[in-house]
Amino acid sequence: MKRNCKDCEIEMKEAFINPGLGMFVLQHDFKSKLFDKLSKINTLVCPNCGYIEFKAEKPELFK
Ligand SMILES: [Zn+2]
């Protein structure tokens, strides 16, 4: 997943949010069963200005 910073136009780097307990996930519905319809969140950071961008790995879950 390559993407350039919208401000600096240089390549953003993959980053990992550390929530302390494991990876950050996006859930389809608050009432969904645990581990049902979860998408990993891909995170990119601009090494120049620090701009951070999130993208759901499985956007189709949210249709
Ligand atoms: Zn930037």
pLDDT higher than threshold 60 for residue 21: no
Distance 2 CA to ligand 1 centre (A): 14
For residue 56, being part of any structural domain is answered with yes
- Per DSSP (E only), the strands in the chain are 13-15, 25-27, 38-45, 52-56
- What residues make up the domain containing 45? 13-62
Whether 20 maps to a domain, the answer reads: yes
Count of residues for the chain? 63
Q: How many Å lie between the centroid of ligand 1 and the Cα of residue 15?
A: 14
Domain count, the chain: 1
Instruction: Pull the structure tokens for residue 27.
Output: 């859930």
- What is the predicted pLDDT for the residue at 48? 98
Question: Ligand 1 centre and the CA of 17: distance in Å?
Answer: 18
pLDDT bin (cut points 50, 70, 90) of residue 35 is low
The answer to the question of residue 46 being in a domain is yes
Quick check: helix, strand or coil at residue 25?
A: strand
Reply yes or no on whether the pLDDT at 32 is more than 80. no
Tokens representing 15 are 């980053």
Nearest to 47 by CA among 16, 17, 8, 19: 8
What's the rounded mean pLDDT across residues 33-51? 87
What is the CA(3)–ligand 1 centre distance, in A? 11
